[in-house]
Structure formats: C-alpha cells, structure tokens
Structure 1
Amino acid sequence: MRETLSRSGKTPIWKAIAAALRADIAEGRYATGDKLPTEAALADRFGVNRHTVRHALSALVEDGLVRTRRGAGAFVAARPTDYPIGSRVRFHENLLAAGRRPEKRILHIEERAATAGEAQALRVTEGAQICAYFGLSLADGQPIAVFESLFPAERLPGIQAALLAERGVTDALRVAGVRDYTRASTRLTAVLAEATHALHLQLREGDPLLKSTGLNVDPEGWPVEFGRTFFAGDRVTLTLEP
C-alpha cells in the first residue's frame, strides 16, 4: 500500500521520513548492517520524489545511524541501546549487559541550595545544600544521554569529592556511606531537545528526546539521588522491568 505524507503540515516531509526510518531502526525492523530499501522503494512508500528521500537519508547519515556506499545503497550503522529501567537502575551494568562499552563524562559538579521542588523530592529543607552533578552518558563512544543528578550533601558527606574523582554513582554513594539503593519512582515523558541537549548529544535542536525523572532511595527509604536524564530518542530503547 502506498504511504503518503501530508504536505500541509508544518513538519518538512524529509524530516517525517527520517523520523519514520529512525522508528523502524529503533523497533528492530532493520538491524545493524542491514540494507535499507532503495531510494526508489522509499519514494514509493512515502509518496515523494527521490530527492526528498535522499535528504532524509542524509540526515540519518549525519546522525550516525546510517552509512551509504556508492553504488551499494544505505545501511544501518548503529542500533539503539537496550536500557532497562526497574528497581535497580545501574548505568554501567545496563550497558555491559547490552554488549556496549559504558562511559560517563563530567560536565559540571557544584554544591548549591535546593529549590522547593528539589527539597521536597530529597526530603531536605528548602535551601539545604545539595550536590548537583551534570554529565554525559555514552555507549561505545556515542553520546546517548545527558543527565542531572542531585544528592543531599549533608546526608552524604564526601559525595562531591567522590564524584569528582570520576567514580560511578554507585561507588560514590558507597564512599558516602550508602551500601545499596533502589529506584523508588520513574516518570517518562517525551520532550524536544533544547539547544544545550542538542549540542552534547550531537542532535538538532527540536529532535525528540525521552526524559526520565527518577528517585533512588537507600535501604531505609531515605532519598539519596533525584535525577533527570534526557535520552536521545533514536539511540536508546527503554524497557520497564519489575
């Protein structure tokens, strides 16, 4: 069946085609190394000319999802990273389990006063000192998420120094006296990339992101980390686990 796209909408047709192909790759319709349909076949599917298809493919090439070979066609260059979200969310463990090489880069760490909302989430008084950790998460060298993690500084002595030593969050919390922690809540929403997100994730401003807002607690139920993570929508497949 010929699939057409409306030309009356605000989204350029080539962007809509690129988004559809990203979704195909994310859902596993095409695996790493698979050849995509020809430009002619894609033009027929979407009811457009080949120039429009070529524009969409170029955007995917620029994003690192697709590579082209002259005379051979377009091939899937990367697959989304499976990232489970459950009661025990561990970045390094999750990526290693998915067969990826995990890496985190510190963008900025500071101590500051908690806002009213942050204080409520972390169960501290408004204005109490918190450690704010901004970073970039990568899989096999490709940026997949930017994040902001907030920690109650008074409850976790030494947390800032441990994070600055480039320890993982689990190790840093252990240094601060937290032997274990679990995810108490997770909220997922779809958002559009702001300029800073796009810069760090090597995306375009306005590209789709998945925002995860989560709260981790220690064995006694006290909040130890409140975080917001912005995942590149076409590079990560989030799965919910018990």
Structure 2
Amino acid sequence: MKPQWQKVYDALASDIGAGIYSPGERLPSEHDLSASLGVSRNTVRRAFLSLSQDGFIRIVNGRGSYVTPHGVTYEIDATSRFRQTLESLGIKRDQTVIENTVVAADGDVAAALGLSPGDDAVRHVSVIWGDGTPFLLSRRYFPASLVPHLAEEIAREHSFTRVLQLHNLGDLHRDTTTVSTRLPDQEEARLLSCPLNAPVLEVLALGRLADGRIAEWQNALMPGSLVRLTFKSALQAL
C-alpha cells in the first residue's frame, strides 16, 4: 500500500501532466490541500518536497509552490543565446541583475580571459527567468579594458551584445563550451529556487570577437529538470 504522501504526489503529478495546473500556476496551499484531501499538512508538505525534487514544482518561501515549465531544449551553436530559446517558445523572459561591477581578476578568471592576476575585469551576475521561473544563473566576466567604462555601459544598455555593437566590435562567438553536472550550493539553490539535492547543469563558455580577442568567460548554472542541451556544431555558444 502506498503511503499517503505518495498518493498526494501521484495525484498532483497527474494533474500537472494533464494540464489541470499550467506552467507558472500556483498550487493550492498546504492548508487547503490537507483539508480537501483529508490528510495532514505534513503529508502534503512531504509530497510537495518530492515534487520539487523531481522538477514538477518550485517552492518559494512565503509565496507558495508553482508548477515549473518542462521540455525546454537549448540548441547551442556559435551565436545562440538562451533568451532567444525562451522567446521562440513564447515564454515571457525577464532578468534580474545581481551584480555588475569591476573586480580584480583572480587566477581562474585571469587565465580564462588572458589577463594577469589582479587586472580589472567586469563581473556581471544575473538570473534569467521564464514565466516567473528561474532558468539560468549566469556569472559572466569581461576584460574591463575592452571598452572604456564597460560596467557603466552594460548597466545603461542592459546588454553586453549591444555594447559591442555600439563600439563596432562585431558579434560575440563562443568557441569552447564545457558542460558538467553538480549539486548547487545554498546561495545557488536559493537563486534558482531548486533543492540542494537536485543536480544543476554547469556550463563554462569562452567567447571571442572576430579579431580573435577573448571578450567573455561565462559560468552558467541551469536546473537539470528544466533544461536540455543540444549542440548544433563544433562552434558552441551559451
């Protein structure tokens, strides 16, 4: 015989799969479900936790539990961008900028960008949302010397790509992409609204300008339950 929480899990998973609850929709509260199903709130809470771990929902403290979108496939090539994938699927995209500042490049960042340790780099950290769900935590680094007052220009234009165009530097092409999986740390899990024990995709990507100069090094995290990656060619991009 299945435990009570498993029955609640199965019922909600079935309703989500049948479209009774749509992506981005808030589920009934633990209190309401426990009353309607005749089970304890702890039983509902256990079912919610399992649904979250399996990628059906995301739990936002103080706000409730929301159905997560599924089936987003990101096809990576030399110039593709994740925001374009969301837009092509009709998913409303938004971005929260967490940090955009000049920092001293440490060993890893300096090596990736071809700088000396301690040289100035712009660190840009943001979360990309789709229909209210956090899909991608991006940590991007750019050589500060690439454009005068680069951090200020990115803040004004809301786009590194746009800054490159304004300075006639051409398009950004990513020539290496490395993908692995790991568990998020506590801050990453908070920003992505995912459980600490749910694997995330970690994508490291290096971008160059047409003249060969390194212009970007990116570390991006995406919940493995939300995103699939495919590679279109040998020239890969994030």
The verdict on a shared fold, with TM-score over 0.5 as the criterion, is: yes
1:85 is the counterpart of 2:76: yes
Length, aligned pairs only: 199
Counterpart contact for 1:151–1:226, Cα < 8 Å? yes
1:97 is the counterpart of 2:88: yes
Q: Distance in 2 between matches of 1:166 and 1:145?
A: 20
Name 1:33's counterpart in structure 2. 19
Q: Distance in 1 between matches of 2:56 and 2:86?
A: 18
1:84: how far off? 1.8
Name 1:58's counterpart in structure 2. 48
Q: Distance in 1 between matches of 2:111 and 2:141?
A: 12
Which of 132, 139, 142 aligns to 2:133? It is 142
1:231 is the counterpart of 2:217: no
1:171 is the counterpart of 2:162: yes
SS in 2 for 1:207: coil
Question: Cα–Cα, structure 1 residues 175 and 185, in superposed 2: closer, same or farther, change >3 Å?
Answer: same
Counterpart contact for 1:194–1:206, Cα < 8 Å? no
Unaligned runs of 5+ residues in structure 2 are 1-5, 22-39, 59-66, 234-238
Write the deviation string for residues 8-58 of structure 1: whole angstroms up to 9, x where unpaired.
Answer: xxxxxx8xxx9xxx9xxxxxxx967289xxxxxxxxxxxxxxx9x977742
Identity of aligned residues (%): 21
SS in 2 for 1:154: helix
Residue identity matched to 2:207? N
Residue identity matched to 1:143? P
Q: Distance in 2 between matches of 1:166 and 1:57?
A: 44
Higher relative contact order (CA 8 A, sep 6+): 2
Name 1:240's counterpart in structure 2. 231
Q: Give the aligned CA root-mean-square deviation in angstroms.
A: 3.5
Name 2:198's counterpart in structure 1. 207
Q: Distance in 2 between matches of 1:168 and 1:57?
A: 40
Q: Distance in 2 between matches of 1:77 and 1:226?
A: 29
SS in 1 for 2:145: coil
Write the deviation string for residues 97-151 of structure 1: whole angstroms up to 9, x where unpaired.
Answer: 2332222110011111112221221112222100000111111121011110000
Question: Cα–Cα, structure 1 residues 33 and 60, in superposed 2: closer, same or farther, change >3 Å?
Answer: farther
1:213: how far off? 0.3
Residue identity matched to 1:79? H
Name 1:153's counterpart in structure 2. 144
Q: Distance in 2 between matches of 1:165 and 1:196?
A: 27
1:65: how far off? 2.3
TM-score normalized by the length of structure 1: 0.70
Q: Distance in 2 between matches of 1:56 and 1:81?
A: 27
Name 1:180's counterpart in structure 2. 171
Q: Distance in 2 between matches of 1:141 and 1:77?
A: 9
Q: Distance in 1 between matches of 2:170 and 2:177?
A: 21
1:128 is the counterpart of 2:131: no
Residue identity matched to 1:33? G
Residue identity matched to 2:98? L
Counterpart contact for 1:212–1:230, Cα < 8 Å? yes
Name 1:25's counterpart in structure 2. none
